[in-house]
Amino acid sequence: MERKKNISMAVIRRLPKYNRYLKELLRTDVDRISSKELGERIGFTASQIRQDLNCFGDFGQQGYGYNVKELLNEINGILGLAKEYKMIIIGAGNIGQAIANYTNFERLAFNLAGIFDVNPKLIGLKIRDVEVKDIDELAGFLKATPIDIGVICVSENSAQTVCDMMVSNGVKGIWNFAPVDLEVPKEIIVENVHLSESLLTLSCLMNDRTYS
């Protein structure tokens, strides 16, 4: 299915939600669903559903709705889930270990190939059979093992250095948990997960509701 150009980030960020709800529909033996019914489950309007999906092609049939399995397969293809990814985690602290222990990533074909840290107390520790290696081994590891995604779970002061090392060794996607905006070449994709910013957004929305 040919994808239209200039699709907004708002639409792209809604795709994982479609993926989650469509998988739940399959688990409950729902074979087809209308845009109205899907919208009621997700919390979107039927018009929003149709507009979002129209960005990627013509899905569904008037009077029939969407074939759930076929639509899920299309969404998975758009999300890039038709292939496997190798990823590494830099920083084996609390956040790094939590990510390493999240088994759902493997079910989505994101395979953890390595974990690195600077702390001697963590080096040698095994997290789900992956041994934490010294950060000094990172460059050599990347030269020997092509990696798609690098997960940054280090301090603000170390994040850019770690990012530069990964980018210079062929990593094309960065999942950044450090509270800093990274500088990368335009061809590198960065997805920031700034936990404090997310919490402050929640706080702002709660405060706005209090005074509205």
- The annotation status of 124 as a binding-site residue, yes or no, is no
Structure token pair of residue 74? 């299309």
Question: Within 13 Å and on the Cβ side, how many CA atoms surround 103?
Answer: 2
| Cα 64 from Cα 32, distance rounded (Å) | 8
Q: What does the pLDDT read at residue 64?
A: 74
- The annotation status of 12 as a binding-site residue, yes or no, is no
CATH of domain 85-197: 3.40.50.720
- The annotation status of 78 as a binding-site residue, yes or no, is no
CATH classification of 9-78, choosing from 3.20.20.105, 3.90.1300.10, 1.10.10.10, 3.30.56.10?
1.10.10.10
- The annotation status of 111 as a binding-site residue, yes or no, is no
The whole-model pTM stands at 0.88
Q: What does the pLDDT read at residue 61?
A: 66
- The annotation status of 80 as a binding-site residue, yes or no, is no
Per-domain residue ranges for the chain? 9-78, 85-197
CA 4-8-14 angle, 5° bins = 100
Q: Consecutive 10-residue runs of the chain (212 residues): their mean pLDDT?
A: 68 94 95 93 93 83 82 93 95 96 90 97 95 96 96 96 96 97 96 92 83 56
- The annotation status of 95 as a binding-site residue, yes or no, is yes
User: Which of 103, 107, 116 shows the shortest CA–CA distance to 85?
Assistant: 107
